[in-house]
Amino acid sequence: MKYIYADLTYLKKYALITTISNSELTAKINHKGAELCSLKSNSTSKEYIWEGNPEYWGKHSPVLFPIVGTLKNNSFKIGNSQYNLSRHGFARDLVFELTDKKEDKAVFSIQSTTETLKVYPFEFELQIIYTLEGPSLNIEYKVINRSKSKMPFSIGAHPAFALEGNFENYAIAFEKDEPLVYNLLENDLISDKTETIEKQDDLVAINYALFENDALIFKNLKSKSLTIVKNKTTLLEVAYNGFPHLGIWTKQDAPFICIEPWYGYSDTNDATGNIFEKEGIQIIEANEVFDSKFSIAIF
């Protein structure tokens, strides 16, 4: 199967959706981007994933690959060659192949093509594996370097969780008691300016003012899980052990919040453009496999 950049009009009309389920949850994944577009409780029919209303943000849970965030000048260099790559990379716009399917598990894959090689000159395979276990959905990323040399990349998740009712009734509880220091964005790039979020009763009360400068970017959190709480009742947990970085984001007046475990982030203002020197970049050897996963647990 050849993978091409998605024709969005075609996909909207003829979207391919795969459904997996167990006794507690049902998940739906769109083959475009292998994007989780629904996660429901079987007992209550409650939907936990943002509906994707384009009035606010027309996505649900895109994968970010082979970069996370924005490159300086939307470009990077390898030696004397320059390549242009748009924000968050191209994986979210490609059609994945369903390579394995069970009742509670689905495996999706894309591989490099002549088109991807023009903007990212490495041969690769990316697998995204969805598995339901009890009240949890595990999402696993496998990045396989099929090049004959080292391959730099970043990968990240971007799930948006639907928040019904008053946005300010919600809060976030982090796994560990630690200073919540985040870096500010300037023109979509990471600056060296930081701010610290205040907690009350170990909770971060969320409000739209927190996101006036776009996403909150945490480089060095000790916490490897967090919970979303409504009026002090836990709704769900996102556990991301192994992921070194985290983004949290929403849009003004939008009824969702994104919890985003990342390997990497946007360029810094002083980035050289050499992708092998990029802050947060992952580098794997030829034929090496990178493997990581996070989970969403429903309460």
What are the chain's domains?
8-298 (2.70.98.10)
Continuous segment of H or E residues that includes residue 8: helix 8-13
Confidence of residue 232 (pLDDT cuts 50, 70, 90): confident
Question: How does pLDDT run across 130-178, given as a tens digit for each residue?
Answer: 999 999 999 999 999 999 999 999 999 999 999 999 999 999 999 999 9
CB 104 within 8 A of CB 132: yes
d(CA 174, CA 176): 6
User: In this prediction, what percent of the chain has a pLDDT beyond 90?
Assistant: 93
User: Could you tell me the pLDDT band of residue 11, with boundaries at 50, 70 and 90?
Assistant: very low
pLDDT, the chain, mean: 94
Total-model pTM? 0.94
Give whole-number Cα distances, 294 to 41, 79, 96, 262, 278, in Å: 19, 34, 20, 10, 24
227: pLDDT confidence band, cut at 50, 70 and 90?
very high
**pLDDT tens for each residue of 169-200:** 999 999 999 999 999 999 999 999 999 999 98
| Bigger pLDDT: 10 vs 23 | 23
Tell whether the model's pLDDT for residue 5 goes beyond 60. no
In our burial notation (b when 16+ CB lie closer than 10 A, e otherwise), range 166-190 reads ebeebbbbbbeeeebebbebeeebb
Overall average pLDDT of the 232-251 stretch: 97
Q: How far apart are CA 247 and CA 34, in angstroms?
A: 20
**Mean pLDDT on 218-237:** 96
